[in-house]
Copies of this chain bind each other. A is one copy, B any other.
Amino acid sequence: MAKYSVILGNVGNFSDRYMTCGYQKEYTLEELFDRVKSIKGVTGVELVGTWHITPDNAKRVKENLERTGLELVSIIPENFGRPEYGKGAYSSKDAAIRRKAVDETKEIIDIARFLGGDLLSLWPGQDGYDYHFQGDYLEEHGWFIDSVRECCKHRPDVKISIEYKPREPRNFSYPATAASTLLMVNEVGLPNCGVTVDYGHGTAAHENVAESVAILKKYGDKLFHIHMNDNYGEWDDDMITGSIHTIPFIEFFYWLKRTGYDGYISTDQYPYREDGRDACNESVRWFDILYGMADKIDDAEIKKIYQTGNACEISAFLRKLMFNDTSK
């Protein structure tokens, strides 16, 4: 049985580089929690550091978790939205910035424990580079790994899961793909260090994300967390899951089940022009449909499919699975 959660900010307001003021109205913390809670089937919530959770408001957040009964699924430290982090956090060329990023992350780890959480999903958005000859790749990969390792050692009972993304806001991110992030995580070399798959980041990296799930299983068993959304295949459009693709998600959910993933499946969207609560609700409704189809795949039937890999048989199998169509 899949467990669904929502990143708190997904039901709020959204800016881009042209509409810096935001497309929507602002909501209070309590309203955001209520909006998440109102989505049928959602039992967890993710928070972003500084945007939703700080040392100062931890008690208020705890009250909201208790009031709504939502589980704290993860905290995403915010080291990508303040100018001091504009050129990187864990791999910054400036040792003082790396120090600050690590110290803040440790603080967030402690807050996560205080709130009953055991997972940080790191999205080091500014760790990377824009121009040729800008990044000293050997140095900066090394700094990144050292920083993350130190965070992981702070509390072995809290998992640190690195969310990869090929680009944006940097033109090249260091944790760029499932495979490149696994290389880093294996170099960190600690059991509480793993990988977050954001479906749309994988797609923007031109991965077949179902295969990425298998890769994360095979080369270290390191899939710690899932973020969901949809896009057109080239950029992190952060749209409603299921609004563009159908079959790829069924395969993805099949491989989650096949590899025994039992964590939360979380929305991670930017519904700039939609009501955020409704847009997350739509994703969850599609989760039910698409996960449901993956769930009803017959083991013997799929095994037979894989034995030959005949694309015409796959096509007929999917027509039947999706639309109960059995025409020849």
Contacts and interface: CB of A to CB of B under 8 A. Distances in A.
Interface of A: 14-24, 40, 80-83, 86-87, 93, 125, 129-139, 141-142, 166-169, 171-172, 176-180, 182-183, 187, 205-206, 208, 210-211, 214-215, 217-219, 232-235, 237, 239-240, 242-248, 250-251, 254-255, 258-259, 270-275, 278-279, 281-282, 285-286, 288-289, 302, 305-312, 314-319, 322-323, 325, 327-328
Scoring A138, A251, A258 by chain B CB atoms within 10 A of each residue's CB, the highest score goes to A138
Nearest to A241: B315
A268 to B, nearest CB: 13
A319 to B, nearest CB: 6
B87 A132 contact: no
Nearest to A307: B93
Given A19-B81, A130-B311, 13 more contacts: A14-B17, A15-B20, A16-B17, A20-B20, A21-B82, A40-B328, A93-B306, A132-B210, A133-B317, A137-B214, A172-B211, A242-B315, A244-B245
Given A210-B132, A232-B233, A215 B309 contact: no
Which 6 A/B pairs are nearest by Cβ-Cβ distance? A137-B214, A179-B180, A179-B179, A246-B246, A282-B315, A278-B312
8 contacts: A16-B169, A130-B239, A131-B240, A246-B322, A273-B311, A275-B312, A286-B315, A289-B323
Given A275-B312, A305-B133, A247 B247 contact: no
Instruction: Please tell me how many copies of the chain the complex holds.
Output: 4
A65 to B, nearest CB: 25
Contacts of A327: 40, 285, 288
A308 to B, nearest CB: 7
Nearest to A308: B93
Contacts of A243: 131-132, 247, 311, 314-315, 318
Contact of A247 (B18, B215, B244): B244
Given A171-B237, A319-B289, A274 B310 contact: yes
A132 B240 CA distance: 12
Contact of A137 (B93, B129, B210): B210
Contacts of A219: 183, 187
Contacts of A86: 19, 23, 272-273
B132 A215 contact: no
A18 B311 contact: no
Scoring A20, A125, A139, A305 by chain B CB atoms within 10 A of each residue's CB, the highest score goes to A20
B169 A312 contact: no
A134 to B, nearest CB: 4
